[in-house]
Amino acid sequence: MSGRGRDAIDAFLAMLAAERGAAANTIAAYRRDLEASDAVTGNIAAATREDMVRLAHEWRDLAPSSLARKSSALRQFFGFLVDEGWRDDDPSPALPKPKARRPLPRVLDHEEVGRLFVVAEEEAGEGRPEAVRMLALLELLYGSGLRATELVSLPLNAVPRDAPFLTITGKGGQQRMVPVSQRARAALSAWLRVRPHGGRFLFPSRDKHLGRVRLFQILRGLAGRAGLDPAKVSPHVLRHAFATHLLEGGADLRVLQTLLGHADIATTQIYTHVDAARLVALVNRRHPLANN
């Protein structure tokens, strides 16, 4: 990689971390895209419109979502270089502009979630630590809408003593408060009684915390025992169910944005599609002309 290209990439990523609070995974993804582009152009900081056309040709077989991500990374990068005076022109208009349609989230219905809890509660009742842990994890995924990483990395001192809230550190290091239901608090109390001693994480594993991959595995194992398709169940699907079912119950979209830790309300609005039937029924029931 060229020295100037490396310096420009490092400066851009430092800005993302310091000014925008970008998460480590986001920064790593941007670095991979920018370094790969630097390898093609020879010096991404000095790339021309012709170089952008070459990149577009290199990316011709990518999925629209991947193409959109790479183009977005470069557009932001060149915008930064212009703002900082590293260069006077922006070659990024020559990049492709794919319309990557955001997929709608998969959602479990109430009956499917209920089947997960029936099995989890029966198994936890047997007293095995792994089963007690599974119920606590399930309660926090569906009852509080936590991301997988947020859940597995919860410190032990995050468990509420009096206040029914957890303090979560989410993407970009942003903190938020999420409610913990009485059911979840009971499940957490049961887990703390059988949790191995030592360690600073709520869900320890060896000398660290339970891994995200392991969380996926045990959740899908639970799905199979509940008679559900394991491929249909994941931590993120339960987070979607949390959001969807709250909307069905009448939750405000702004409140939901806060609970989910979304920086932009547009991210939260993806859930509104699943609540269309309730909105139609509301209009038919409450509109002044509904009974005319």
C-alpha to C-alpha distance for 249 and 244, rounded to whole angstroms: 9
Please classify residue 17 by burial: count the beta carbons closer than 10 Å to its beta carbon, then call 0-12 exposed, 13-18 middle and 19+ buried: middle
236 is catalytic: yes
Q: Residue 259, by phi and psi: left (phi above 0), alpha (psi -120 to 50) or beta?
A: alpha
Identified catalytic residue from 70, 195, 239, 240: 239
Q: Is 262 a catalytic residue?
A: yes
Helix/strand/coil for 212: helix
Cα 262 to Cα 145: distance, rounded to the nearest angstrom: 12
- Categorise residue 289: left if φ over 0, alpha if ψ from -120 to 50, beta otherwise: alpha
For residue 147, indicate whether it is catalytic. yes
DSSP 4-63: HHHHHHHHHHHHHHHHS---HHHHHHHHHHHHHHHHHHS-GGG--HHHHHHHHHHTTTS-
Give the β-pairing of 175-179 and 204-205. Answer: unpaired
| Residue among 70, 147, 195, 245 flagged as catalytic | 147
- The catalytic residue among 4, 49, 54, 171 is 171
Q: 204: which strand partners?
A: 209
Q: What positions carry a catalytic annotation?
A: 147, 171, 236, 239, 262, 271
